[in-house]
Amino acid sequence: MAYFLKRFGDGAGSSGPLSAAVWYENREEHIQYHASPRVGVSMRVGALSIGKNLAWQTSPVEEILLEVRNYVRFRTANSIYEWWEK
């Protein structure tokens, strides 16, 4: 399965086998793999390992704008993104 993350405006983002929801509680990082965007988490999408094609991480999701099957458009404090899986 492949995941895609693209920022509206400049098209920046990443793709790969990793789609993780990331959040912090009590200064501890929590990660849920194979996750789709939801309010309150940052999305990390891209490569599974560190290398030339690093994963892209958003700031926390503030609002879900559209959600249809395997596609989500969402807003963070600074940007609007689209996320999908194939």
pTM recorded for the entire structure = 0.90
Is 84 in a helix, a strand, or coil? strand
- Give the pLDDT means over successive 10-residue stretches in the chain (86 positions): 95 94 95 97 86 82 97 98 97
pLDDT at 1: 85
pLDDT at 53: 61
pLDDT at 10: 96
**One-letter amino acid identity for 4?**
F
Q: Which two tokens stand for residue 48?
A: 């599974």
Bridge-based pairing of strands 71-75 and 42-46 is: unpaired
Separation between Cα atoms, residue 74 and residue 64, nearest integer Å? 4
pLDDT at 48: 75
Structure-token match 């596609």, residue found? 71
* Domain carrying residue 80: 3-85
What's the total number of domains in the chain?
1
Judge contact between 72 and 6, C-beta under 8 A. no
Residues linked to residue 19 through DSSP beta bridges, in sequence order: 45
pLDDT at 47: 86
